[in-house]
Amino acid sequence: MYRILLVEDDKEIIDNLIEFLSKEGFSVKNAKGQTAAIELVEKESFDLVLLDVSLADGNGFAVCSAIKSSTCLPVIFLTASGDEFSTVTGFDLGADDYIAKPFRPRELISRIKNVLRLTGTAGNITQLGDVTVDTVKGTASKNGKDLFLSALEYRLLLVFINNRGAVMTRTKLLESIWDIAGDFVNDNTLTVYIKRLREKIEDDPQNPEIIKTVRGLGYKVDA
């Protein structure tokens, strides 16, 4: 269950949103002003902040700055003023999305889930079949069991993950990992690495399902 901090001072909106978001399975706490919001963020832990731009005791931009400087909490601005200045300022301060009032409840849910998805996966944890790569920890695991990848195997896996769906030529892979292509490393080196990586990540290394061979072109993993 995701915990949302709603920074808003309009009683009607607060009541409506708490009711609606609770029904959708979120846990919601309300802060009515800047100080209360910043205190709550420091004291409790949340997964996302819904932040009204216009608060009784000042604008929400300051709150966003404060939150983003001390945490990496995702922030979605809510605002009646759909003026361009606010939008641009909001994003510049590190906001993750921006919804203009009046918004449709279902769109709010979609955007909340979308921001949670984007902030949760970008550069952190990636799934590749049953293989999970955590770039924050620098580890890879398969069905929860740690795969003790070597430095080069890990980097090779990252190249595939960051180019999912695209065929990677041998040259590109060599360039990605050894910096230079062909000249300094043996032609077979890459082939051997592919084999060893497959032995660690594939269920059946002889019939690879993750790293597919594209004969004549290179290798690819599906998105």
Partner DNA sequence: TTATAATATGATAATTATATCATAATTCAG
Partner DNA sequence: CTGAATTATGATATAATTATCATATTATAA
In 3-state terms, what secondary structure has residue 154?
helix
What's the CA gap between 205 and 179, in Å, rounded? Answer: 27
Q: Which is nearer to its own copies, 16 or 56 (CB)?
A: 16
What's the CA gap between 22 and 4, in Å, rounded? Answer: 10
Which of its own copies, DNA, none interacts with 56 (beta carbon under 5 to 8 A by kind)?
none
The encoded tokens of residue 12 equal 């009607």
Q: Which is nearer to its own copies, 105 or 182 (CB)?
A: 105
Residue pointed to by tokens 């998105």: 223
What's the CA gap between 115 and 17, in Å, rounded? Answer: 18
Number of residues near its own copies (by CB under 8 A):
50
Q: Does 191 bind DNA (CB under 7 A)?
A: yes
Q: Does 145 bind DNA (CB under 7 A)?
A: no
Q: Does 135 bind its own copies (CB under 8 A)?
A: yes
In 3-state terms, what secondary structure has residue 54?
strand
CA atoms within 13 A on the CB side of 195: 5
Which of its own copies, DNA, none interacts with 88 (beta carbon under 5 to 8 A by kind)?
its own copies
Beta-carbon count within 10 A of 5 CB: 25
- Interacting residues with DNA (CB under 7 A): 148-153, 170, 178, 184-186, 188-189, 191-192, 194-196, 198, 205-206, 208, 213-218
- Interacting residues with its own copies (CB under 8 A): 45, 68-72, 84, 87-88, 91-92, 95-97, 104, 106-107, 110-111, 113-115, 118-120, 122-124, 135-139, 146, 148-151, 154-155, 158-159, 162, 164-166, 176, 179, 222-223
